[in-house]
Amino acid sequence: MIVLEAFTPADFNQLIDWVDDERLMKEWSGSMFSFPLTEAGLTWYVQDSNNLADPSVFIYKAVDSKTGVTVGHISLGGISQRDRAGRITRVLVGKTTERRRGICQAMIKALLRIGFEDLKLHRISLGVYDFNHAAINCYLKAGFVQEGVMRDVVRHGEDYWSLIEMGILEAEWQALQAPLSASAA
């Protein structure tokens, strides 16, 4: 089971170790950070995050509840109380050896629960590069729907990357929870 805990400066070095090449950094963060990732570069990122009084961004580390080991990183930002909407902005399963074990899906499901239950959001969206098939499959399995493609939005070297826009609505998420509730009863 994955538990999401607030990402703090004490977690910076773990993330820095994981994001060890420029391409991975761009895949994870777009152009939000410059490579190499540094503690100074992360300081502004966590400023004013995880504040229930002003909920505009929540940044988490994903912890395996059995081992207590941090296995990933995820954030929910762009939160609009007026529109009851938010956007998953960064998802990273830490070590490559941990990938393809369901960690991404567990992280997404935990974040959707926070977004829809705790924050009372109506819509949560995300963007994923079209070549990231593992992430796309993870998001589809978690209930996201592909809504469109933004073609050639990022340039990396001589290549252009297209971004798939995905979203999930509160009612869609609730429908996915109903079978879980029925089996628990």
pLDDT digits (tens, 9 = 90+) for 119-178: 999 999 999 999 999 999 999 999 999 999 999 999 999 999 999 999 999 999 999 998
CB atoms under 10 Å from CB of 104, counted, come to 26
Q: Decide if 39 is inside a domain.
A: yes
CATH number of the domain to which 56 belongs = 3.40.630.30
**30: containing domain:** 2-180
Q: How confident is the model at residue 185 (pLDDT cuts 50, 70, 90)?
A: low
Contact 37, 15 (CB under 8 A): yes
Q: Assess if residue 185 is contained within a domain.
A: no
Q: Residue 119: phi, psi to the nearest 5?
A: -95, -10
CB 38 within 8 A of CB 45: no
On whether the pTM is more than 0.85, the answer is: yes
| % of the chain surpassing 90 pLDDT | 79
User: String of b and e for 140-161 (b: at least 16 CB within 10 Å)?
Assistant: eebbbeeeeeeeeeeeeeeeeb
Average pLDDT, the chain: 92
- 10 within some domain: yes
* H/E segment holding residue 148: strand 145-156
Backbone angles phi, psi at 82, to 5 degrees: -60, -45
Give domain status of residue 56, yes or no. yes
Tokens representing residue 164 in the block: 């798939």
Residues 6+ apart with CB under 8 A from 153: 160, 161, 162, 163
Structural domain count of the chain: 1
d(CA 35, CA 37): 5
Is 125 within the bounds of a domain? yes
pLDDT at 182 over 80: no
